[in-house]
């Protein structure tokens, strides 16, 4: 009797899951579709292929022959089979007789593990339940305001961070031993991985996925990645992952035209084909596809305790004319992709309802849509948006010969005009160090010494400008060569004194950033910054103040973008008193030539711009300094 009641309960749950799947409200769809253990030795397989003529389960267990036909539910389009033939570890696919009668082997879209490339069969795999030990970390994240915390992200492509001598990459079991201590030593608050979902071509860097629920077998097992995340949390490091809901791999045996008709993709070929990236666009307005994608995001967050997701290529989901080639206006005659717009709002609403502390970050390059902020106001509901404008302008400026910089000073000051329009994250990402763009260090003007000086200057500006931070691996020590996805980083660089000191500089800057509330405590408000002088184009020196909650908690930042030392340089200050230099990019320990900091400065009652007091100091050529109030009179604001 108990067994009968149990079976009845299971069937009722299946029916509920099927109903919510059809309406786009099932956000744990992996519990319905895919392969599941019913009882010892017995599995059920379910796959959605509404317009297929027939579907067969094929694999190691039946010599890949169509001896195991599946049954279709005509209402849901889901095909099902229960079998005792399959066992854990077997490889399998679905043989689908498509709507046209064509027969083709297709992957299981809900597989949680695949065989190693170049094969793409699913492996019948059960992830054992983990007893997590990261409760203190997760509890702390719930109790604190993410916008009032430092966030300094180290972006990683896991298989090219380090390689073995034979050329094989590190798995996550090895990254736990080496990358986690490195993140802690370098002072990063978070690590972000380029897509970890299964993908058939390393050259795609993971952005053309086939398995939206599967950790790429190239990186190890799901248990390996769980252990890595736990180790990060035990070391007070958050873990983020890139995720790609806009488009998917074009390979015929994966998701495209799964049942022979537009199933996961738009029915309009112009909307379905992503010509720019050679992939296929999801139909983001289809309820079943919404369930599929939101379930994928939920799965990664819940199965791996991720602290956040960076959604890739948001612009491609928002605008019909984003791609190359012909496009069709929407019903209003415009270029808005309403399906993508409402899907992204739904995605963020669902994630935030279930996991309020999980960070949702958008990689988005336009300014026509409010990306961050409340959905009720028309925004998409993301927590942060990559500030691509800041990144493009600043890198263009630092690549420039200093003789021309005075005429293009707006490239480093323009961001102050719009910096609070969104909650921004400043990215110095992988996209800027590939395809002939040169590494960050190689972009810098001048000889090798000047390049390192400017890189230190750039990173100081990066850390003191409002916005969260992201730096791609290898950039922390100024790797000269561009990033190569199929090789490890140039760790041999660290045998060089300038590279080694650059790495130490970055680590100390990271710790300085975390230790200074003025750099992150109010950065979602204009109260966080005062511009001292953004018009000194003749000398090419920028100065501003970053402020924390406490009146006395502020930093004065001075950046000299010219190869000329500025002696007796005037800087306006808000209060009379003394100011101490706490940061100087040209110190010998950082790779510069200075052996001592500037002496403590006492303000003079001389007007400077909007300030009634100023200090005089020396700013190194191509250098940056930061000063902190030592003894000031807070009652005499000038």
Q: Which residues are catalytic?
A: 312, 363
Question: In DSSP terms, which residues pair with 384 in a beta bridge?
Answer: 361
Q: Which two tokens stand for residue 161?
A: 């961070």
Tell me: cis bond preceding 517? Omega within 30 of 0 counts.
Answer: no
Q: How many angstroms separate the CA atoms of 442 and 451, rounded?
A: 7
H runs (alpha helix) in 75-171: 135-143, 158-161
In sequence order, the 6+-apart residues with CB closer than 8 A to the CB of 279 are 208, 247, 248, 249, 250
CA-wise closest residue to 604 among 583, 575, 626, 580:
575
Length of the chain: 638
- Angstrom distances, CA of residue 254 to CA of 10, 13, 315, 461: 30, 28, 25, 45
Q: H-helix or E-strand containing 570?
A: strand 566-573
Q: Which two tokens stand for residue 236?
A: 């007070």
In sequence order, the 6+-apart residues with CB closer than 8 A to the CB of 478 are 439, 440, 441, 451, 452, 455, 493, 498, 499, 502
- Angstrom distances, CA of residue 570 to CA of 240, 424, 530, 608, 619: 43, 31, 16, 8, 10
Buried b (16+ CB within 10 A) or exposed e, 172-196: beebbeebbebbeebbbbbbbbbbb
| Residues 361, 311 contacting (CB under 8 angstroms) | yes
- Alpha carbons within 13 angstroms on the beta-carbon side of residue 337 total 27
- What are the DSSP E strand ranges found in 233-318? 238-243, 247-248, 273-274, 279-281, 308-311
Q: H-helix or E-strand containing 43?
A: strand 42-48
DSSP single-letter state for residue 210 = S
- What are the DSSP E strand ranges found in 186-294? 190-193, 197-198, 211-215, 238-243, 247-248, 273-274, 279-281
- Calculate helix-pair angle for 497-515, 448-464, nearest 10 degrees: 10
Handedness of CA 160, 474, 448, 397 (dihedral sign): positive
Terminal-to-terminal C-alpha distance of the chain: 84
Question: In terms of DSSP bridges, do strands 359-362 and 308-311 run parallel, antiparallel, or are they unpaired?
Answer: parallel
- Angstrom distances, CA of residue 503 to CA of 105, 348, 445, 493: 49, 36, 20, 10
Handedness of CA 57, 59, 61, 65 (dihedral sign): positive
Q: How many angstroms separate the CA atoms of 327 and 258, rounded?
A: 24
Q: What totals of helices (H) and strands (E) does the chain contain, helices first?
A: 16, 29
Give the residue carrying structure tokens 């509920």. 16
């Amino acid at each position: 009797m108990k067994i009968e009641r149990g079976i009845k309960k299971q069937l009722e749950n299946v029916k509920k899951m099927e109903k919510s799947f059809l309406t786009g409200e099932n956000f744990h769809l992996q519990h319905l579709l895919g392969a599941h253990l019913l009882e010892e030795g017995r599995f059920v397989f379910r796959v959605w292929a509404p317009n297929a003529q027939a579907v067969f389960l094929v694999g190691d267990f039946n010599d890949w022959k169509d001896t195991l036909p599946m049954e279709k539910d005509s209402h849901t389009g889901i095909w099902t089979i229960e079998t005792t033939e399959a066992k854990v570890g077997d490889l399998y696919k679905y043989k689908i007789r498509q709507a046209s009668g064509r027969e083709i082997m297709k992957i299981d879209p809900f597989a949680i593990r695949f065989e190693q490339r170049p094969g793409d069969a699913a492996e019948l795999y059960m992830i054992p339940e983990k007893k997590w030990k990261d409760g203190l970390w997760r509890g702390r994240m719930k109790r604190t305001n993410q916008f009032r915390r430092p966030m300094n992200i180290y972006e990683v492509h896991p298989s090219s961070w380090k390689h073995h001598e034979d050329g094989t990459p590190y798995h996550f079991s090895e990254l736990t031993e080496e990358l986690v201590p490195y993140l802690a030593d370098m002072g990063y608050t978070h690590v972000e991985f380029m897509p970890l979902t299964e993908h058939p071509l390393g050259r795609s860097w993971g952005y053309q996925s086939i398995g939206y629920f599967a950790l790429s077998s190239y990186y190890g097992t799901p248990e390996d990645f769980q252990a890595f995340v736990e180790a990060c949390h035990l070391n007070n490091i958050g873990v983020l992952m890139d995720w790609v809901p806009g488009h998917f791999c074009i390979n015929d045996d994966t998701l495209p035209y799964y049942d022979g008709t537009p199933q996961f993709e738009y029915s309009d070929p112009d909307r379905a084909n992503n010509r720019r990236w050679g992939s296929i666009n999801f139909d983001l307005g289809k309820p079943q596809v919404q369930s599929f994608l939101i379930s994928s995001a939920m799965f990664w967050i819940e199965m791996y305790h991720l602290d956040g997701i960076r959604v890739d290529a948001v612009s491609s989901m928002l605008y019909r004319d984003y791609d190359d080639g012909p496009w069709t206006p929407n019903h209003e005659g415009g270029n808005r992709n309403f399906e993508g717009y409402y899907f992204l709002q739904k995605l963020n609403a669902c994630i935030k309802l279930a996991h309020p502390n999980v960070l949702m970050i958008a990689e988005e390059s336009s300014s026509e849509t409010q990306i961050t902020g409340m959905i009720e106001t028309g925004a998409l509901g993301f927590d942060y948006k990559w500030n691509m404008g800041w990144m493009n302008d600043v890198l263009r400026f630092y690549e420039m010969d200093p003789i021309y910089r005075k005429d293009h000073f707006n490239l480093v000051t323009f961001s102050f005009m719009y910096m609070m329009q969104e909650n921004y994250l400043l990215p110095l990402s992988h996209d800027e160090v590939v395809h002939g763009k040169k590494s960050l260090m190689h972009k810098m003007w001048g000889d090798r010494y000047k390049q390192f000086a400017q890189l230190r200057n750039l990173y100081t500006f990066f850390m003191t400008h409002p916005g969260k931070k992201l730096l791609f691996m290898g950039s922390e020590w100024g790797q000269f060569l561009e990033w190569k996805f199929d090789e490890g980083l140039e760790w041999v660089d660290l045998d060089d004194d300038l590279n080694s000191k650059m790495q130490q500089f970055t680590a100390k800057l990271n710790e300085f950033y975390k230790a200074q509330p003025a750099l992150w405590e109010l950065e979602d408000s204009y109260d966080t910054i005062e511009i001292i002088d953004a018009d000194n184009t003749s000398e090419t020196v920028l100065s501003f103040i970053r402020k924390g909650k406490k009146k006395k908690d502020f930093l004065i930042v001075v950046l000299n973008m010219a190869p000329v030392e500025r002696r007796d340089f005037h800087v306006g200050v808000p209060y009379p008193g003394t100011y101490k230099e706490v940061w100087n990019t040209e110190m010998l320990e950082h790779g510069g030539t200075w052996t001592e900091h500037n002496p403590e400065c006492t303000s003079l009652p001389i007007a400077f711009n909007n300030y009634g007091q100023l200090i005089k100091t020396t700013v190194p050529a191509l250098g940056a300094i930061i000063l902190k109030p030592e003894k000031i009179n807070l009652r005499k604001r000038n």
